[in-house]
Amino acid sequence: MGVTVNPAHVVADVVSALHDDHGRIRLPRFYDDVDELTSERRADFADLPSDEDEWMARVETTAVDGEEGYTLLERLWARPSIEILALLAGDPLGLERSVIPETAEASFSIRTVPGQRVHTVADQLREFVAEVVPAHVEYTLETDEVIAQEAYISPAGTARDALERALERGYGLPLAGRMGNAGGGPADFLAKTLGAPVILIGTGLPDDHWHASDESVSLTMLRRGAASIAHLWEELGATAPPQSGR
């Protein structure tokens, strides 16, 4: 290090401090509202077919990492996470020069789980950054709390049972188990506003490169998903209480 503050070093310090050696997130009180997985929920994940080598090939990575003590599927669908999305400092497109960058920035995404609230986690992030960044360094921290999605899981009940039967009909396969959900902000909002259960269905595959610039979709999966929705209306109708005639 030279004789002045290098913003790139400061950002690197923040990023490197986000996790401990066991893959756990180091934001203060971050896990206070995270419920431990029940044996029933872990059994649900264990029932799903999962092969780490196949998963790495499909998502084009070379290793599985993350919070110790949890399986790949549990980390994907039931545990919170922080992922670094972008790092920027200096002039990456210009000529290489021996100049300390004036600014540096990082962009990352936080995935919460049921029990956690977006505004609470945002406050924990602010407290964490304030502790890591030296007092003489000026910084700005922006959080997208307005558009952030609260975690949501389709509630058990008649509607979810009907969806599972519809999926079996639409895909022509028996139900193997239940995955989790990374977001669901609109579902959480609608469920609270309408006072009615909202159930979620997804047709994406791991190798669809979700959210990436080369995101894709399998038309076969999409058609089967549409068929499942059509079957869902029939399944829901079959569970409705009979209407008395006039």
For residue 54, give the 3-state DSSP assignment. Answer: helix
Judgement on whether residues 168 and 217 belong to the same structural domain of the protein: yes
Yes or no: say if 62 and 30 are a contact pair by the CB < 8 Å rule: no
Judgement on whether residues 115 and 176 belong to the same structural domain of the protein: no
Judgement on whether residues 111 and 15 belong to the same structural domain of the protein: yes
- What per-residue confidence (pLDDT) applies to 187? 79
Judgement on whether residues 128 and 174 belong to the same structural domain of the protein: no
Report the distance separating Cα 70 and Cα 82, nearest Å: 16
Judgement on whether residues 210 and 122 belong to the same structural domain of the protein: no
Yes or no: say if 113 and 151 are a contact pair by the CB < 8 Å rule: yes
Mean pLDDT to the nearest integer, 34-44? 89
- What per-residue confidence (pLDDT) applies to 47? 86
- What per-residue confidence (pLDDT) applies to 181? 58
Domain holding 112: CATH number?
Answer: 3.30.70.360
> pTM of the prediction?
0.82
Q: Which of 33 and 48 is assigned the larger pLDDT?
A: 33
Judgement on whether residues 172 and 113 belong to the same structural domain of the protein: no
Is 224 contained in some domain? yes
Question: Bridge partners of 108?
Answer: 84
Is 205 contained in some domain? yes
> Exposed (0-12), middle (13-18) or buried (19+): which is 125, by Cβ within 10 Å?
buried
Is 82 contained in some domain? yes
What is the crossing angle of helices 219-239 and 158-171, to 10°?
140
pLDDT digits (tens, 9 = 90+) for 48-92: 888 999 989 988 889 999 999 999 999 988 999 999 999 999 887
pLDDT digits (tens, 9 = 90+) for 86-113: 999 988 787 777 888 999 999 999 999 8
pLDDT digits (tens, 9 = 90+) for 113-172: 888 999 999 999 999 999 999 999 999 999 988 778 778 888 888 999 999 999 999 999
Yes or no: say if 149 and 80 are a contact pair by the CB < 8 Å rule: no
Print the domain residue range for 46. Answer: 7-132
Judgement on whether residues 75 and 13 belong to the same structural domain of the protein: yes
pLDDT classification of 226: cutoffs 50, 70, 90: very high
- What per-residue confidence (pLDDT) applies to 245? 58
Count of domains observed in the chain: 2
Closest of 196, 164, 190 to residue 177, by C-alpha: 164
Is 110 contained in some domain? yes
Give, in order, the Cα–Cα distances in Å from 193 to each of 160, 196, 197: 19, 8, 10
Is 151 contained in some domain? no
Closest of 108, 109, 105, 100 to residue 88, by C-alpha: 105
Judgement on whether residues 104 and 162 belong to the same structural domain of the protein: no
Judgement on whether residues 198 and 233 belong to the same structural domain of the protein: yes
Is 185 contained in some domain? yes
Q: What is the Cβ-side half-sphere exposure of residue 183, based on CA atoms within 13 angstroms? A: 9
Judgement on whether residues 108 and 212 belong to the same structural domain of the protein: no
CB atoms within 10 A of CB 75: 19
Largest alpha-carbon pair distance within the chain? Answer: 88
